[in-house]
Amino acid sequence: MVTTAIPAETRTILSNISWQTFKIMLAEMGSERKNRLAYDNGILEIMTPLMPHENSNRVIEGFVVALCEEFGLEFKRAGSLTLIRDNLERASEPDSSYYIQNESRVRNRENIDLAIDPPPDLVLEVEYSKPKVDKSKIYTAIGVPEFWRYNGSALRIYILNDGQYTEVETSPTFASVPVKEIPRFIQETKKNGEMATTRAFRAWVKQQIAIIHP
């Protein structure tokens, strides 16, 4: 019996798109849409999340919020905020983004302008399928300090160091908790439900913090 994998997202690529054309398309498409855009070097990727993709994104968001609360870190959720730099002609809409270290600088900001405002401190990309545009190059150029990638089975963590991303084992934001264990909890939501698993995740986080700070 052949098992067919359920798609988690669709990706459409448009080539030879000028920056001006991209900006027009971005304005005409508006903010009330499901798809997420990424633009680099004339290539525009349009990603439309399907149920597995969006569920993983939302579950991880719940875990990030729990982590911030247990660490006593104030945060601001920025979701799929369009991260755009005209001077670089690059743009991306992550699955989720968070201001944590720089939260106080954008707390009352309704519109983020990366020409004067800091980028999110943490961005997440859910990538069940391989992106056609390399988001790491965009986030490097924009200066996002911490970048998480989840491919449906593993969570990889990157930090910006000397102008390039380096993969690390531990998130500097949540240093005493091995957040690469998050995929295990995502799988548990399918058996035990999201509320029960989030409670279990929070209890596990408390235990990890207690080990380092008894």
SS3 assignment, position 76: strand
Q: Are 64 and 96 in contact (CB under 8 A)?
A: yes
State pLDDT tens for residues 85-100. Answer: 999 999 999 999 999 9
Q: Beta strands 96-99 and 43-49: pairing type?
A: unpaired
State pLDDT tens for residues 29-71. Answer: 987 788 999 999 999 999 999 999 999 999 999 999 999 999 9
In the predicted model, is pLDDT for residue 7 greater than 70?
yes
Q: How far apart are CA 60 and CA 160, in angstroms?
A: 21
Q: Are 124 and 136 in contact (CB under 8 A)?
A: no
Write down the pLDDT at residue 42. 95
Q: How far apart are CA 205 and CA 88, in angstroms?
A: 39
Listed in sequence order, the DSSP H helices in 125-193 are 135-142, 182-192
Q: How far apart are CA 153 and CA 167, in angstroms?
A: 17
CB atoms closer than 10 angstroms to residue 1: 2
Task: Give the closest residue to 37 by CA, choosing from 101, 107, 93.
Answer: 93
Write down the pLDDT at residue 211. 80
Pick the CATH number of 50-212 from 3.30.70, 3.90.1570, 1.25.40, 3.30.310: 3.90.1570
- Mean pLDDT, residues 2-31 taken together: 86
Q: pTM (2 decimals)?
A: 0.92
CB atoms closer than 10 angstroms to residue 7: 12
Write down the pLDDT at residue 5. 59
State pLDDT tens for residues 103-146. Answer: 999 999 999 999 999 999 999 999 999 998 999 999 999 999 99
The domain segmentation of the chain, as residue ranges, is 50-212
Q: Are 64 and 78 in contact (CB under 8 A)?
A: no
Task: Give the closest residue to 140 by CA, choosing from 78, 87, 88.
Answer: 88
